Structure 1
Amino acid sequence: MTQQQRLRRLAHRLGRARIWMWREPARRSVSAGAEKRSSLHPPKPQEIPFMAEEEINDNSMKGARPGFESTPLRTSSRRSVRSQMAAEVALRYDSVHSVLVDFCNRTSSHGIPFFGSSSFWPRPIWVSIFIFCTIFFLIQTYFTIDEFYGYRTIFQLNLKFEPAPFPAATVCNLNPYKFSELKKFPEIANAIAKWENALTEKPDLSLRILEATGKRKKRQAEFQPIFVRCTCNNPNDRCVPNRNEEANTQVCLCFEDVSTGYIWPCYPTTEWTVKTCNQCSFSNTCADPDRPNATMPFNQNVSCLCQGISHNCVIHPKNEIRWWNPNNYTIYPAEPPSAETPFSENLDLEGVFDKGTMTTRIKESVSYMVSELPQEIKHNLSYTLGEFVLRCTFDGKDCNMTELFQVHRDADYGNCYTFNFNTSLEVKSNRAGPLYGLRLLLNVNQEDYLPITEAAGVRLVVHERDQEPFPDTFGYSAPTGFVSSFGLKTKLYTRLPHPHGQCSDKERPKPYIYGDHYSPEGCYRNCFQMEMINDCGCGDPRLPLPDEQTKACNLHNATQKACLKKNNEAAGGVYRTKKACICKQQCTEYLFETSYSAAAWPSVNFVIGQGCQGAQEIFNDSTACTEYYRVNTAFLEIFYEQLNYETLEETQGYTMTNLFADFGGSIGLWIGFSVITVFEFLELIFELAYYGFVVVPRRIHKTLLEKKQRKKRHGLSIPQLLYKHMPSHSGTKMFPKKSSKEATKSKSEEAAVLSNDTSMATLPPDGKEIDEWPP
């Protein structure tokens, strides 16, 4: 070995020893926490990187306090608290397994701490127990949530002792229209006449006896035929009487009301015929068709003059038919017409022999025909407030009729009158009992009842002030000649809206034919009317129309009438079920339970007062007044039986508080969790996320950096390593800097020497640190 080789080996060993002496203080300056961890898990040598010169200057020299030797593991004092926490997590957990083991050792839940047991057999047993309990917890939680979303409700009953608001009361006459006014309309009078004709088609001995005894002859003589000069537009249509003789007028045959002089419908003379009838009823209808060989009891061969379009018949006069003149009548001989028209089927009475069915159909027909009339005419056909309500007192005081009553038009009962309709007026009853409620004396006037009205009395509906009364569906009937007492008990229902219930105070169908007065009954009728309009192109005449553009069905139109009949008969009419018709109950609703009692009225010795004067003048008898009131009037008493009222409030049967209570009980019973345990699991999730997204990427980055530095360091020659890491003495380098040519020459010489010198084989192999060599 030459002298030069010996010097090079010595320099190499001196440089390796110097590097080892510089790294030794870094080993001794590791923190206490790291020493404890290293005692359990000795760190590998490559975990302490051989740092580059720039990193040594940045971490150990900058900001270092005098007398304190900074190491690569010590950080700057300017590091934030969050960075320190991150470093602690990084130092504490080396893997996901260590994170989970640490959680098992410190969690407050039951069973999970046994997962980290050092023994093998307890771990699978406790895992199985925990899974088993978790399954039962999930099952019970499912039923708990299902109970909550079932939206179960309960009713709470309370009793309030305070004056309740007095309800609205709607009263109607069971007879909707005055017969004296209604018979002025020929079409309606003809319909009633046809109904009576249908009633007498089958033999009825009692009716025959009445006709034979002449008890109905008074009305038979009310009408007579008369010739009138008319203007006719269509041959089969009604003609209009003309007061002036014009060139385009023609002769018509009309009915004349003898008592009033009113001219009934006029038709051309070709539309009238002479028929031989069994009898002519009070409504001038030929009761039976021609029967030349009739042998029925009380049969009479009567010559009648019948009209073929309206099927109205009148007794043929034995003398000449008179001519009508606005001022006087002139009698001329005239020949009766001979043409006959077929029988009409408009009222659907053919083939029906049950009197109840006939009466129901004629009532519907009359209701339809009256509904087609203008509103003003319909109002005049029925009873006015002064005619119907004779007396009214409330809470012992007289009623203000104009402020407390409002007319309500009903297709079946005509003019009805609602007491306490005004929501702006507060009407309360201060005391219980009939004397301090609403007392009404109502006149029904049976003398002017329609023949189709079966009962005499009034109809009462007790309802809320902002609702439609619907007397044809709800309410009670009170007879004449009695004091009918209706004791009230109020119940206030409060319902829950969606999702616990299906009530609504504001939601309603659009359009809605009853305005702001919503009720489920009104909603059903609205749906029926809308369905009728969609199917038939016209509305039911008995119900309100949604707008002015929609017209009511015309009974003279065969297509519209057939569609109207089909919709009324199909699936219950108004109450048929429709998928598109959703009628919800009100969320706040007052219900009035009614108890009924009655007593005869008036008593024999009761002094009625001035109201009897007219009756005594008519009947000229002292008892006539009492009998008149007994027949024609009804007395109503509407009052509270007691001032307290019940409230039924719908409340949630299973609230959010119940849900949390049951959930907490279940989770504590089966797996021993609490709210604190939930936060512990949240902390575990955070630590796992931090480990996966922060610690692992840092370690990967650190490993790549170490490999890069190691690769760079191993690529340097031994003199360059000594020159870079060994400190200089007296400001001079151990090896002076060479030029590029000299450096290239020295590298080639070193390579030649090392290739020939076998002693250099003792240098550290690739991948080993210098301080680990020699062994």
Structure 2
Amino acid sequence: MPDAEKTRQCKQEEQQQQKEDEREGLIEFYSSYQELFQFFCSNTTIHGAIRLVCSKKNKMKTAFWSVLFFLTFGLMYWQFGILYREYFSYPVNLNLNLNSDRLTFPAVTLCTLNPYRYSAIRKKLDKLDQITHQTLLDLYDYNMSLARSDGSAPSTQTRSSRSLLHHVQRHPLRRQKRDNLPENSPSVDKNDWKIGFVLCSENNKDCFHQAYSSGVDAVREWYSFHYINILAQMPDAKDLDESDFENFIYACRFNEATCDKANYTHFHHPLYGNCYTFNDNSSSLWTSSLPGINNGLSLVVRTEQNDFIPLLSTVTGARVMVHDQNEPAFMDDGGFNVRPGIETSISMRKEMTVRLGGSYSDCTEDGSDVPVQNLYSSRYTEQVCIRSCFQLNMVERCGCAYYFYPLPTGAEYCDYTKHVAWGYCYYKLLAEFKADVLGCFHKCRKPCKMTEYQLSAGYSRWPSAVSEDWVFYMLSQQNKYNITSKRNGVAKVNIFYEEWNYKTNGESPAFTVVTLLSQLGNQWSLWFGSSVLSVMELAELILDFIAITFILALRWFRSRQQLSPPGPAPNSHDNTAFQDEAPGLSAPHRFTVEAVVTMLPSYNSLEPRRPSRDGEVGHE
């Protein structure tokens, strides 16, 4: 009877333990990688995974599907890499929008193309002219003084008496088939010579020839070099002898209304002379009422060249440039010339460009993030930044500023009476600037928003042969100025909008996050025919793999501790019933964490005793 009761009790305990083992816990981990992989392949929604475990008896099929599965996996992630590379290249779509509205008229700058001979520096310019005349006589046997219409006597100044530096000279090139010809031979072809001047460092240890293939270019550059030095000696040269508006502009009309002095601002350019900018006042800008030649700006300008500098300017007429408000007029970059005796009609089309900033394009909003100080009192443009960059490098390297650009704080303009070798430094720096050694073209980025004007010009004879007499007479009476050269003394310019339509070139992201996710989903569906939940199953597999690795590592660490030498024997106060057993004997095959309260074990020592046959108290 006692044995039967013990057997029944043991069976109940086994059944209870079996139920506890079969009961699912809150968190369950697998006992091995094989069990994890078997469960994943049997239950995942990823196509092809089941074929890795369903053919255990056919190893060839298992190997074939394993290679096919992982090859497909690799191809899919190769496509993923292409998509990510395209996304992080930040491509853009170009959007062209055509808008129609009344347009604000742009700013228009008009220059005389003739640097004025200031009375304050007339003596120095006369001296420079004499040296230039002698240079032309020495190089080309041309007496410019006799050729001038003013009938002045030729200069008798010789080369040895010159006080200016850097004389123009001829420098022979390496001859290939003319070695038998002497130097300075008049029979030498023009291509065997270059005209230029020598520039040396301050200690004269390093010199080079600033040479030109054309004598005209060499003489103009040499004359301009000394002309800049003369202007630099006059701190207020830009404000001296300002030409009157009426002496250059004979007539001005906008929208059939007469212009006045409030509609323009004046500045002087060292090479282009007196310049006038119309419609640059941001407080009262012009607006075209209608497109067409009668609703724009119409100017009649003087193009005579009395008392100007022929060695500095070799063209006649005027120079005009159309630009946006609050932008400096760089006449040598965007302007074009107006011919005398011709009516030039310029039609405009407005075009705006809006670029995406940030990672999509290397543009700047206002230039505040460009590492170049803006020396111009205007808003940021790429040309403003480039010229400011060159000027700052000029001051740093040469110790003085170039006269054509704004003067930085604390600097002074270059003058060879103070800075003897500034010409040598300038031309060296200019060569580095053009080769982008200074990094100005890299530092100066394009603005994210810019406005440009596409111009088309038409020309016609003005005034006509039958009307020129009365037109010139009326202009002379109106402006109290005698036009002696008639047709070569005036020109007419019309600037107007061709139409009110204007284009906006914008940018939009070509590959957004939504597009990226869509493309990734398409690739995943193509190669495995699954969805986002399949991706979550794959993520769960990775997390389970990490958890099993951690558990196995923890088990290995505990087993190493048990294999270490035992510590001191427990004393009588230690209860051996609570000593840890060997991990290898107590670790179950499946690790479960259950929210179940287990029953207390039964102890035989707590059962009631009865007397044995021999009269002793015993245990069942």
TM-score normalised by the chain length of structure 1? 0.61
CA–CA distance in structure 2, aligned partners of residues 475 and 197 of structure 1: 34
| Aligned-partner SS, 2:125 | helix
Alpha-carbon displacement from aligned partner over 1:676-734 (angstroms, at most 9, x marks no partner)? 10111223344455566679979999xx999958989xxxxxxxx985242x3xxxx54
Query: Which residue in 1 is equivalent to 2:343?
Result: 483
Partners of 2:126 and 2:349 in 1: CA distance = 44
Write the distance in 1 (CA, Å) between the matches of 2:419 and 2:547. Answer: 84
Q: Which moved more, 1:677-686 or 1:531-540?
A: 677-686
Counterpart position of 1:672: 529
Match of 2:156 among 282, 286, 289: 286
Q: Which residue of 2 aligns with 1:304?
A: none
Q: 1:709 to 1:204 in 2, by over 3 A?
A: closer
1:545 counterpart = 2:407: yes
The 8 Å contact of residues 113 and 315 in structure 2, kept in 1 or not, is answered as yes
Q: 1:681 to 1:725 in 2, by over 3 A?
A: farther
SS at match of 1:506: coil
Structure 1 range deviating more: 638-647 or 140-149: 140-149
- 1:644 is matched with which residue? 501
Q: Contact conserved, 2:280 with 2:325, CA < 8 A, in 1? A: yes
Find the residue that maps to 1:488 and give its secondary structure: strand
The alignment status of 1:201 with 2:138, answered yes or no, reads yes
Q: Is 1:654 aligned with 2:530?
A: no
What RMSD in Å do the two structures reach over aligned CA positions? 3.9
Structure 2 residue aligned with 1:466, among 317, 326, 342?
A: 326
TM-score (norm 2): 0.75
Is 1:397 matched with 2:257? yes
**Residues 1:138 and 2:72 aligned together:** no
1:568-627 residue CA offsets vs partner (Å, 9 max, x unmatched)? 6535x6674423652211111112111111222234436547642278896xxxxxx6x6
Question: What displacement does 1:488 show?
Answer: 1.0
Asked if 2 retains the 8 angstrom alpha-carbon contact of 1:182 and 1:188, the reply is: no
Distance in 2, Cα, partners of 1:425 & 1:585: 28
1:165 pairs with 104, 110, 130, which one? Answer: 104
Superimposed CA distance per residue, residues 491-542 of structure 1 (whole angstroms, 9 cap, x where no aligned partner): 2122223422221122334322224432222222222212222221111122
**Which amino acid letter does the alignment assign opposite residue 561 of structure 1?**
W
Moved more, 579-588 or 463-472: 579-588
Between the aligned partners of 1:458 and 1:137, the Cα distance in structure 2 is 66
Per-residue Cα deviation, 1:727-764 (whole angstroms, up to 9, x for no partner): x3xxxx5489xxxxxxxxx99xx9xxxxxxxxxxxxxx
Task: Name the CA distance, whole Å, in 1 between partners of 2:551 and 2:481.
Answer: 113
3-state SS in 2 of match to 1:635: strand
1:268 corresponding residue in structure 2 = none
Is 1:349–2:168 an aligned residue pair?
A: yes
Structure 1 residues 539 and 424, CA gap change in structure 2 (3 angstroms): same
Which gives a bigger RCO, structure 1 or 2 (Cα 8 Å, sep 6+)?
2
Matched, 1:418 2:277: yes
Cα distance in 1, alignment partners of residues 438 and 550 from structure 2: 60
How many residue pairs match? The answer is: 532
Structure 2 residue aligned with 1:192: 129
User: Identity of counterpart residues, as a percentage?
Assistant: 22
> What is the aligned counterpart of 1:533 among 365, 387, 395?
395
**d(CA) in 1 for partners of 2:553, 2:531:** 32
Structure 1 gaps, min length 5: 1-12, 38-72, 74-83, 221-279, 290-310, 312-340, 619-624, 713-720, 737-745, 751-769, 771-775
Match of 2:26 in 1: 86
Residue 138 of structure 2 aligns to a residue whose secondary structure is coil
User: 2:405 aligns to what SS in structure 1?
Assistant: coil
Tell me which residue corresponds to 1:592.
453
Bigger drift between 653-662 and 585-594 goes to 653-662
- Quote how far apart the aligned CAs of 1:426 are: 4.2
Aligned partners of 1:711, 1:593: CA distance in 2, in Å? 91
Structure 2: give runs of 5+ residues left out of the alignment. Answer: 171-194, 197-214, 563-574, 583-601
Shift of 1:190: 1.0
What amino acid maps onto 1:724 in structure 2? Answer: S
* Paired residues for 1:302-701 under 5 Å: 342-346=161-165, 348-351=167-170, 352=195, 354-375=215-236, 377-402=237-262, 404-452=263-311, 453-507=313-367, 508-547=370-409, 549-557=410-418, 559-567=420-428, 570-571=431-432, 576-579=436-439, 581-603=442-464, 604-605=466-467, 608=471, 611-613=475-477, 630-688=487-545
1:724 aligns with 2:605: yes
CA, structure 1 residues 679+561, in 2 after alignment: closer, same or farther (shift >3 Å)?
A: closer
Q: Distance in 2 between matches of 1:387 and 1:735?
A: 145
Secondary structure, counterpart of 1:422 in structure 2: coil
CA gap 1:536/1:614 in 2 versus in 1, 3 angstroms: same
Spell out, residue by residue over 1:83-113, the C-alpha distance to the aligned partner (whole angstroms, 9 max, x if none).
x7426x36xx554433332222221101112
User: Is the 8 Å Cα contact of residues 112 and 275 (structure 2) preserved in structure 1?
Assistant: yes
**Greater Rg by CA:** 1
Report deviation, 1:129.
0.8
Q: CA deviation at 1:171?
A: 0.8
